[in-house]
Structure 1
Amino acid sequence: MRWIRGIVAAAALLTVTACGEQTAATGSGSAEAGGPPPASKELSRSPEEVPGGGPVPKGQIDASALPDGHPVDVAVDEGGRTLTIVAQEGGCTRASATVAEQTAQRVEVTLVESQPADKNTMCTMDMRYPPLTVDLDEPLGKRVVVLEHQRDTH
């Protein structure tokens, strides 16, 4: 009988641990409450959780074109030539990023969310936040990162 209690306790511990690791790995939810991602266009992760060399300061990011609830996490590598941007995708959609324009004042990055052209495709209801990288011609420096959003079909 003791071994049954031990197995039940171990299974409960593994379930709690696995759920906590999934939330941390996917980046979904707030670290404090374990809830859904924030609905505002603030940084949805603390700087130490942003993938890449270091976070781009919030004042250097223009995310006004992103849909409500979209994460705004941008990091730059130590050399300043690679941006890592956390995108949003779910179900059958796939995220990609391209540099649309680079000037002395700004870097415009288009985040594309592609969905299947066939409307009869069955899709899951999960959300994912993949880190996407784009390469810049010159180091980012003080330039503003402008994030655009586009929906497409594949």
Structure 2
Amino acid sequence: MRWIRGIIAAAALLTVTACGEQTATTGNGSGEAGGGPPASQELSRAPEEVPNDGPVPMGRIDASALPEGYPVDVAVSEEGRTLTIVAQEGGCTKASATVAEQSAERVEVTLVESKPADKNTMCTMDMRYPPLTVELDEPLGKRVVVLDHKRTTH
């Protein structure tokens, strides 16, 4: 009987551990050329998910508000009105993107990571990097893309 209690205790510990939040600690998240997302994040996307209309140069992306280790990968369509941004989500979280502001100098995009309000929700420990698109009023041109990050509950 003692071994049954041991198995139950181990299963409970694994369940609690699997439901905890995981924080990415790899990469420097600086957004500088050569200091982009860690290789593990780049390799986690399937090749068909990588936007290939045209990458926005790192010098025209302000990713200083993103959490450390968050991928910095922005592409613009040939017409210049659609941005594709690689986001990060995992477990029970879901990523979305909205254009917060557009001016002659910059386009600010808010990346939102939503998690369930119910703290008893069981979640996996996987990480995903979905490509999200946002539409601009005018072509991007030489404007700077400013990436912001927000966490919410749903």
SS in 2 for 1:150: strand
- Any conservation in 2 of the 1:109–1:145 contact (CA below 8 Å)? yes
- Any conservation in 1 of the 2:27–2:68 contact (CA below 8 Å)? no
1:63 aligns with 2:63: yes
TM-score by length of 2: 0.72
Counterparts of 2:116 and 2:135 in 1: how far apart (Å)? 27
Counterparts of 1:136 and 1:37 in 2: how far apart (Å)? 32
Write out per-residue CA displacement over residues 2-59 of structure 1, whole angstroms, 9 at most, x where no aligned residue.
xxxxxxxxxxxxxxxxxxxxxxxxxxxxxxxxxx96343333359xx64141100000
1:80 aligns with 2:80: yes
Partner of 1:115: 115
| Percent identity (aligned) | 76
* More relative contact order, 1 or 2 (CA 8 Å, 6+ apart): 2
Counterparts of 1:144 and 1:128 in 2: how far apart (Å)? 26
Amino acid at match of 1:79: E
Partner of 2:136: 136
- Any conservation in 2 of the 1:89–1:127 contact (CA below 8 Å)? yes
Counterparts of 2:132 and 2:52 in 1: how far apart (Å)? 10
Q: How many residues align?
A: 117
Q: Calculate the aligned-residue CA RMSD, in Å.
A: 1.8
Unaligned runs of 5+ in 1: 1-35
Where do 1:7-46 residues align within 5 Å? 38-40=27-29, 41=31, 42-44=35-37, 45=42
TM-score by length of 1: 0.72
Unaligned runs of 5+ in 2: 1-24
* Structure 1 residue runs of 4 or more that deviate by more than 4 Å after TM superposition: none
Counterparts of 2:140 and 2:87 in 1: how far apart (Å)? 19
1:99 aligns with 2:92: no
Write out per-residue CA displacement over residues 80-129 of structure 1, whole angstroms, 9 at most, x where no aligned residue.
00000000000000000000000000000000000000011010000000
